[in-house]
Amino acid sequence: MASLSFTTSYQIEGAVDEDGRGPSIWDAFCTKPGKIASGHNGDVACDSYHRAEEDIALLKRYGAMAYRFSISWSRVIPFGGRNDPVNEQGLQYYIKLVDNLLAAGITPLIALFHWDLPDELDKRYGGLLNKQEFVADYVNYARVIFNALSPKVKYWITFNEPWCSSVLGYNTGMLAPGRTSDRSKSPEGDGATEPWIVGHNLLVAHGTVVKIFREEYQPLYGGEIGITLNGDWAEPWDPESAADVEACDRRMEFAISWFADPIYFGHYPKTMIAQLGNRLPQWTDKEVALVKDSNDFFGMNHYCSTFVKTEIGKPERTDTVGNVDILLQNKAGEWIGPETQSTWLRPSAIGFRKLLNWLSDRYGQPKIYVTENGTSVKGENDLPLEQALKDDFRVQYFEDYIGAMAEAYTYDKVNVRAYMAWSMMDNFEWAEGYETRFGVTFIDYQNNQKRYPKASATAMSNIFAKYIKNP
């Protein structure tokens, strides 16, 4: 299953106060001074709520076979809770979107949750920090969506990048709800404990909803369900250092295996247990039974690689990366890859192939869906339109990364089955606002969100075709 790209609700839809939608934690976070570049927000974004048919036409023009998108929980259940009313207008928006995608010959893949928790649930009981209440409300929300769409939709993601929700939302404070131990950034939060609580609660919610899907919906309508994780490939800063080599696995375990090991093995990684001790929540037998083996596929988001250098001494209590330094240059001064607009992102396609092999080896050759992959381009937002549309750097990135994935499939026998590029269009890039662009479609924010296909949009179908015909 090859796809051109995917999007998420808060990043593209806009219409945040229309047709009964309630506020999410991202609406609230964007009102806080200094949290988003240039004071941007998702109020209008790409205006896709009003232009969904136009966007589907673009997908068809680009040759997309599938389209992954997320649903705004607060558009469907404005206050979010299991005893709160469903907003029928919001639900109908997604029903129509799915119908129109299918009519265009495009397979929909739905993420139930991509960071935008209804704000009322955060205010009501602490949101993701409250396992009992959050799981119950998430289950109710998932049932509403399954009841409406499971006869038509065959691919489901429970949570997108729980690492980001946990660490960036409850440790660094970079993302909503912005909780952190750093009192210069937030009056609330404990970065030493809260991310591990949130991560555990997300896993329990995932397992609970997967059980319901498998017992109540899958027998009737078929389909697959899984979780999407994120992570970079790690290379040793000093390849001659056994400590740095070992630190690479530890770094990826803190990023990926934190969530994957409980799903595939029923427990957290030993490296995390050793460092965090009782700050990692304990698994009950009931929770293990819910979470273990709860993936029909392994969803993986990946963008780049880094160098890793082991830290000497005891880690800080707020450390979330496994007591390592994450670097872009190695001991010899070599960069991991070329510069992009994103300070954290330097491409390394060989790292992608290595990561796919690492996942396959560790988790018993699962079926892998690459659910995000893409790049920003240095200075793209400052270029004249004509130059911005010639995004040759992004074209090369996709050629290299899709090629690396094909090599992992063909030569390494990695069971990778799907690829989705980030993103269909430039959009609200969370804390970076609209200053960073990842899309294959240029969005003119100053001219009524007008869409302009970039070179990468037309190149993608040719890249896919080459490997689909010659896998």
Give long-range contacts, CB 8 A cutoff, 24+ apart: 237-246. 237/307, 237/308, 237/309, 237/325, 237/327, 237/330, 237/331, 238/309, 238/330, 238/331, 239/330, 241/310, 243/310, 244/308, 244/309, 244/310, 246/310
Cα distance between residue 345 and residue 282, in whole Å:
34
Token pair listed for 311: 């830290």
Reply yes or no on whether 435 is catalytic. no
Residue type, 431: A
Known active-site residue 372: yes
Distance CA 13, CA 44 (A): 7
Only one residue has tokens 């001991």, namely 331
249 vs 453: CA distance, rounded Å: 39
User: How far from the centroid of its chain's Cα atoms is residue 104's Cα?
Assistant: 25
Of the residues 120, 253, 372, 429, only one is catalytic, namely 372
Placement of tokens 């591990």 in the chain: 196
Quick check: helix, strand or coil at residue 24? strand
- Dist. CA 201–CA 246, nearest whole Å: 29
The single residue of 161, 194, 429, 432 carrying the catalytic annotation is 161
Amino acid at 226: G
Distances (CA, A) of 452 to 197, 231, 232, 440, 445: 43, 31, 30, 9, 11
Q: Enumerate the H helices of 41-159 as residue ranges.
A: 52-62, 73-76, 88-103, 119-125, 131-149
Q: Annotated catalytic sites, by residue?
A: 161, 372
